[in-house]
Chain A
Amino acid sequence: MTRQKLSFEDALKQLEKIAEQIEQGKIGLEESITQYEQGMTLVKHCQDILARAELRIQQLQQKEDGTLEARPMSLKEEEPGG
């Protein structure tokens, strides 16, 4: 699993599992420490993604071959009303 592709849902599921494993003492101390570190990395990773908050808007246009072309647009260009 690549870090970038890890979704928040998966991250949350993993964290729930890690916390449960550590809390219930199902795994050894060494393994607990490894899992704890993994969990912390996961939290950091997700917080980083959220912190890099930036809304990216693209307008799509269908080309003749049926594929879609994306062209960046900004929120300010939007004309309110209509």
Chain B
Amino acid sequence: MRRKPFDPNLIPLPVDVPPKPTGPLTVSQLTGLIKQAIETSIPPTVHVVGEVSNLKRHSSGHLYFTLKDASAELSCVMWRSAAASLKFQPGDGMEVVATGGIEVFERAGRYQLYVRRLEPCGVGALDLAFRQLCEKLQREGLFDPKHKKLLPPFPSRIALVTSPTGAAVADMLRTIQRRYPCVDVLLYPVRVQGDGAAGEIAAAIKALNANNAALGGIDVMIVGRGGGSLEDLWAFNEEVVARAIFTSRIPMVSAVGHEVDVTIADLVADVRAATPTAAAELVVPVLSDLLLEWGEWPRRLTRAMHHRVEFADARLASLLHRAPIRDPFIPVRARGQLVDELGNRVERSTSQRLRFNHRRLTALESVVQRIAPHRHLMHRMVQLRDDALRLERAMARRLTLVRRGLNETRRRLDRISPDKALSRRRDRVTVLAETMNAAAAHRLILDRERLGHHADCLLAMSYKSVLGRGFSITRLKRRRVVVRSVRDVHEGERLATEVADGEMESTVHDVRQMELFE
């Protein structure tokens, strides 16, 4: 805002004041003119640098003081509401920047600065910058705990971004050497204060991330410096460093200054260490403790193995006590033997029976051949047929029994063991039974055939020989039925009469019933 030079002629006159004063002005009129002049030509907010003097804190909470420099003084008032938000205690002799507006205090005939904000000179600007950046990054979420990465418990490569000649690097290296002297340390030397320090630190963080793989993988990075004034630590409050830390994929530990110094780098880093030494302690474990822990492992594994073997041993012992486990094939073998025996018995008894029947049949045959056929012919035939029938029935019964027994055995075997060995035995029994059935059936057929043959022979032989002795057989010619009675024929019926050497035909005449007792 350009300020015009003060020219009282340019001041518009108050409306209640006549444009051209004819007499002297009243005090109020003049003061009004001054007030107007000040309000129009001075901006509503001014920043004034000066030294505090005559500071008075009124019981109401308002602050009254004078700002002065080598050649001028300015009355200042700070109302209670503004004074309450002061972060520091102002005092006489303190260089400050006061922010507020100039107004005329008409009753006292004074102009005064009404201070709205008061800041210590010099530090105030940095402090303001810190707070402004802090708020901005906070809003963007750079301090959010959800972005914090975990530190690896056993790092093998650690990068340090710090001054190569400071106390910080020496502290960190000593601490690492003392606690965990089995890591690679990569020192990235940077300036940690002065112009360009922030840029170097940020560039180092980025370069380490970019070359992470080429360097063999960095597990954790410490960025920091030793203690110093706020200005000395300032690089760690700059946005470029904060953003480099935030975008690092390598976990970051900040270690700036002393316990009390908190920088923006500390707020963005994954872990804040109070001092460089503390950072090194956070990053590496204590090797001797670790060796002790690892020393426990062989014992623990051996103990576990010992228990496992004992368990297996106990289990084995309990298994050995169960009888079938000693030889799992004992029951199978026993059943197999039983099946063999049954098979043999069946075979034996069947062939015995067959042989017996065969012998009996042969005997009967010889008897038949010996006897005179004419008397016992029919009787023998019937007897033979009965014998054959009985034989057949007996065989059937026997077979049914054997089959039932076999089925029973099979069922028992099925119940007892589904084992393949048993199934093989069972198959053998089935084959045996079938063979036996077939043999018996075949034998029966043969016997029956032989029997029939003999019967036919006997039949043929019998009446032919009778014919030779002069007997004849007369049959009805049409039906070939043997005529046994006069009632078998009617008058005029054709008859065929067989004699020893041929046959002749005749017709029935004069049928008469023989009167046995005439």
Q: Is A56 part of the contact surface with B, judged by Cβ < 8 Å?
A: yes
Chain A residues in 8 Å Cβ range of B153: 8-9
Flag if A33 contacts B182 (CB, 8 Å): no
Docked CA distance A60–B205 (Å)? 12
Docked CA distance A52–B295 (Å)? 16
- Could you tell me the distance in whole angstroms from the C-beta of B275 to the nearest C-beta in chain A? 15
The 8 Å CB contact of A40, one of B186, B188, B301, is B301
- Could you tell me the distance in whole angstroms from the C-beta of A68 to the nearest C-beta in chain B? 5
Give the interface size bracket for B toward A. 35 or more
Chain A residues in 8 Å Cβ range of B214: 67-68
Docked CA distance A43–B309 (Å)? 21
- Could you tell me the distance in whole angstroms from the C-beta of B217 to the nearest C-beta in chain A? 9
Q: Contact flags (1/0) for B130-174 with A, using CB distance below 8 Å? A: 000000000000000000000011101001000111110110011
Flag if B173 contacts A78 (CB, 8 Å): yes
The 8 Å CB contact of B290, one of A7, A32, A33, A50, is A50
Q: Contact flags (1/0) for A36-69 with B, using CB distance below 8 Å? A: 1001100100110111111111111110001110
The 8 Å CB contact of A32, one of B176, B189, B300, B308, is B308
Flag if B226 contacts A18 (CB, 8 Å): no
Give the interface size bracket for A toward B. 35 or more
Docked CA distance A53–B308 (Å)? 35
Docked CA distance A74–B295 (Å)? 31
Q: Is B88 part of the contact surface with A, judged by Cβ < 8 Å?
A: no
Chain A residues in 8 Å Cβ range of B207: 62, 66, 68
Flag if A43 contacts B297 (CB, 8 Å): yes
Q: Is B183 part of the contact surface with A, judged by Cβ < 8 Å?
A: yes
Docked CA distance A75–B173 (Å)? 7
Flag if B305 contacts A36 (CB, 8 Å): yes
Of all chain A residues, which has the CB nearest B185? A57
Chain A residues in 8 Å Cβ range of B156: 7
Chain A residues in 8 Å Cβ range of B169: 78
Docked CA distance A43–B299 (Å)? 11
Of all chain B residues, which has the CB nearest A82? B166
Flag if A50 contacts B287 (CB, 8 Å): yes
Give the interface SS of chain B, mostly helix, strand, loop or mixed.
helix
Flag if A59 contacts B189 (CB, 8 Å): yes
Flag if B163 contacts A82 (CB, 8 Å): yes
Docked CA distance A47–B293 (Å)? 10
Docked CA distance A58–B173 (Å)? 11
Flag if A58 contacts B301 (CB, 8 Å): no
Q: Contact flags (1/0) for B174-207 with A, using CB distance below 8 Å? A: 1011000111111111000000000000010001
Of all chain B residues, which has the CB nearest A43? B297
Q: Contact flags (1/0) for B276-318 with A, using CB distance below 8 Å? A: 0000000000010011001101101110110111011000000
Flag if B294 contacts A47 (CB, 8 Å): yes
Of all chain A residues, which has the CB nearest B164? A59
Flag if A19 contacts B301 (CB, 8 Å): yes
The 8 Å CB contact of B301, one of A29, A36, A52, A60, is A36
The 8 Å CB contact of B226, one of A43, A49, A82, is A82
Q: Contact flags (1/0) for B193-229 with A, using CB distance below 8 Å? A: 0000000000100011011001100000000001000
Docked CA distance A78–B323 (Å)? 79
Of all chain A residues, which has the CB nearest B210? A66
Chain A residues in 8 Å Cβ range of B208: 60, 68
Whether A15 touches B297, Cβ cut-off 8 Å, given contacts A22-B305, A57-B185, A66-B207, is: yes
Flag if B170 contacts A78 (CB, 8 Å): yes
Docked CA distance A57–B295 (Å)? 28
- Could you tell me the distance in whole angstroms from the C-beta of B340 to the nearest C-beta in chain A? 40
Docked CA distance A69–B163 (Å)? 17
Flag if B182 contacts A50 (CB, 8 Å): yes
The 8 Å CB contact of A23, one of B176, B211, B304, B312, is B304
Flag if B308 contacts A55 (CB, 8 Å): no
Flag if B294 contacts A43 (CB, 8 Å): yes
Chain B residues in 8 Å Cβ range of A80: 167, 170
Flag if A49 contacts B182 (CB, 8 Å): yes
The 8 Å CB contact of A55, one of B185, B188, B226, B290, is B185
- Could you tell me the distance in whole angstroms from the C-beta of A29 to the nearest C-beta in chain B? 5
Whether A60 touches B308, Cβ cut-off 8 Å, given contacts A50-B287, A52-B182, is: no
The 8 Å CB contact of A50, one of B165, B203, B226, B294, is B294
- Could you tell me the distance in whole angstroms from the C-beta of A75 to the nearest C-beta in chain B? 5
Whether A19 touches B304, Cβ cut-off 8 Å, given contacts A50-B290, A58-B184, is: yes
- Could you tell me the distance in whole angstroms from the C-beta of A70 to the nearest C-beta in chain B? 7
Docked CA distance A25–B208 (Å)? 47
Chain B residues in 8 Å Cβ range of A50: 182, 287, 290-291, 294
**What would be 24 A-B contacts, judged by CB atoms less than 8 Å apart?**
A7-B156, A8-B153, A15-B297, A19-B304, A22-B301, A22-B305, A25-B308, A50-B287, A51-B291, A53-B181, A53-B182, A55-B173, A56-B183, A56-B185, A57-B173, A58-B187, A59-B186, A60-B208, A60-B215, A68-B207, A75-B174, A78-B169, A79-B170, A82-B226
Q: A47-B294, A60-B186 are in contact. List 18 more A-B contacts (CB 8 A).
A: A7-B156, A8-B154, A9-B153, A15-B301, A19-B300, A19-B301, A29-B312, A36-B302, A40-B298, A47-B291, A55-B182, A59-B187, A59-B189, A60-B187, A62-B207, A68-B207, A80-B170, A82-B170
In the A-B complex, list the 5 residue pairs whose CB atoms are closest, starting with the nearest.
A8-B154, A22-B304, A53-B182, A82-B166, A55-B181
B-contacting residues of A (Cβ < 8 Å)?
Answer: 7-9, 15, 18-19, 22-23, 25, 29, 32-33, 36, 39-40, 43, 46-47, 49-62, 66-68, 70, 73, 75, 78-82
